[in-house]
Amino acid sequence: MPKPSKGARMGGSASHEKAMLRNLATSLFEHGRITTTEAKARRLRPYAERLVTKAKKGDLHNRRQVMQLISDKSVVHTLFVEIAPRFAERPGGYTRITKIGNRRGDNAPMAVIELVEGEIAKKATVAEAEAATKRAVKESEAAAEAPAEDEAKDA
């Protein structure tokens, strides 16, 4: 017997909730980030993370399971070919929810849910930039000292 899903049903029937989560997940994987209400973002997070985990496995069975939930083949292809390899080393936590204040019309709390980029790659880039800055400072100091030594020799 089918059991109702955990959490709020978002003010609609179970079929409406399923359709809404499918559409939100499709948009999230297509665009990388979406703006929605906090409640919808909180309901979408575990749904989307399960789909990314299935995509990371990458076999035919999991692709067919994802195709049952996301009917757009191009989005499923993007999920398996681009998004899943990006998270290959990450054990979970593929999405981030950021609160952005309330909506103007009805004062509903809004949030941005986005796919987390490769944090490890960002840290490596920052470390590389810091090292380059240190090298540049050392080179400029060495260049500044060289003319001073030449002047001392001339005198």
Token pair for 67: 């195709």
Pair 24, 34: CB distance under 8 Å: yes
pLDDT of 130: 79
Q: What is the pLDDT of residues 79-127, one digit of tens each?
A: 999 999 999 999 999 999 999 999 999 999 999 999 998 555 556 667 7
Nearest by Cα to 37 from 105, 102, 115, 104: 102
Question: By C-alpha distance, which of 69, 53, 72, 71 is closest to 21?
Answer: 69
Instruction: Indicate the pTM of the whole model.
Output: 0.72
> What are the pLDDT digits (tens) for 48-74?
999 999 999 999 999 999 999 999 999
Res 118: pLDDT: 59
